[in-house]
A and B are shown apart, each in its own frame.
Chain A
Amino acid sequence: MAFDLEVNGNAYSVEADPQTPLLWVIRDQLGLTGTKFSCGIAQCGACTVHLDGLPFRSCRVPASVAVGKSVTTIEGLSLAGDHPIQIAWKEFDVPQCGYCQSGMIMSSLALLKKTPDPTDAEIDAEITNICRCSTYHRVREAIHRAAELMKA
């Protein structure tokens, strides 16, 4: 069946089973491949997107849940890479393989929106994404740096 989605400010009409996870609609039908599939059971966070500004693991969110909400993916930040969080990420050269980083950035951005100047303990509690290359050391530094940039 057809339903409407708003993703990164664009309106899309999608023809799919509404129970299809939002991840697969985003990746395969809208062609936005920055959001990644890794575990499929909402454990790793590689598929994190925002629904009305809140982080969700899109591999377990039926697309129908996103109807009427504003969906933001990594492509919705800045394709030129000039969003403050992207600038901070580049400053610390955070990614290694990079596969988890879209989700890591979206989770971190959600944290910064809720908690503009997070402590290390707040980062520990909120950032539960998995990075197999273990870029965590730089992720933490980049979150603190992004907090500064976003305040400015």
Chain B
Amino acid sequence: MAYNHKEVIAEKPSRLTSGHRMCAGCGAPAVARMILRAVKPEDHAVIANATGCMEVSTFIYPYTAWTDSFIHTAFECAGATLSGVEAAYKSMKKQGKLPEDKNTKFIAFGGDGGTYDIGLQSLSGAMERGHDMVYVCYDNGAYMNTGIQRSSATPKFADTTTSPAGSVIPGKMQSRKDLAKIMVGHHIPYVAQTLAMGNYKDLYEKAEKAIYTEGPAFLNVMAPCPRGWGYNTEDLIDINKLAADTCYWPLYEVIDGKYKITYKPAKKLPVEEFLRPQKRFKHMFKPGNEWMIKEFQEEVDRRWQELLDLEEMTNK
């Protein structure tokens, strides 16, 4: 069935309610809301959350913004925690301890800190063991909850509080880790990369596939952070679109090992367009730093080409 934005928004109530304390202009709540809209209304969900912005802003005792069951334990173990919940479901269902006609879906949310870095082992274990769950990384490219420290998802040259753009070292000197590819390496049935906003159809459809594909699935969703990236809150949608149109953040999915790029911009924009509105890249535009933009562009091009090649290669 073709995606109908009006229907989805009007007919599927948000399962993350308003009143949470995420910042204005943050991509993360949009990710959670849209993904949970892809859960069938008749299905129950158990959501696990790694410690991070989303968790500390949506479940402050005694209030919760989640209408489904929700568990938070610690920073690095959303994958393992949800493994336990899913194993309990399997066991109790098998023993007739839960109603037969009721389905429960298992969805974990973690930021890039809790997913790329401290939670990578727990995520890898959960995926390898084949639990029927979706792990969603809302990737804002740094440890935003603790005040914008670099992560392995932080793009090269970005200015963060632990990779400050100084007079000798101009920001983070290492490239981003490619987590979606690491997840593809787990040979799980579904891996996808998408955006918080700007292409709701892409996000929704990938969420639906991830949730209703049996076995483990992983979604890497770019979720811009106004504080960490330094853009105007009203520019959230534009920033998302620029990430896709410059091919900095390609939208694609990998189904049983087959790559499919779900958005190929008609006109691939220079990466400068994505970098310029963000304060974290401001130093790259200083005279004499043209090499940084050039290098950044080269890496975007290389990674985009690699993805095109993978698509071709896996669909032969």
Tell me if chain B binds chain A: no
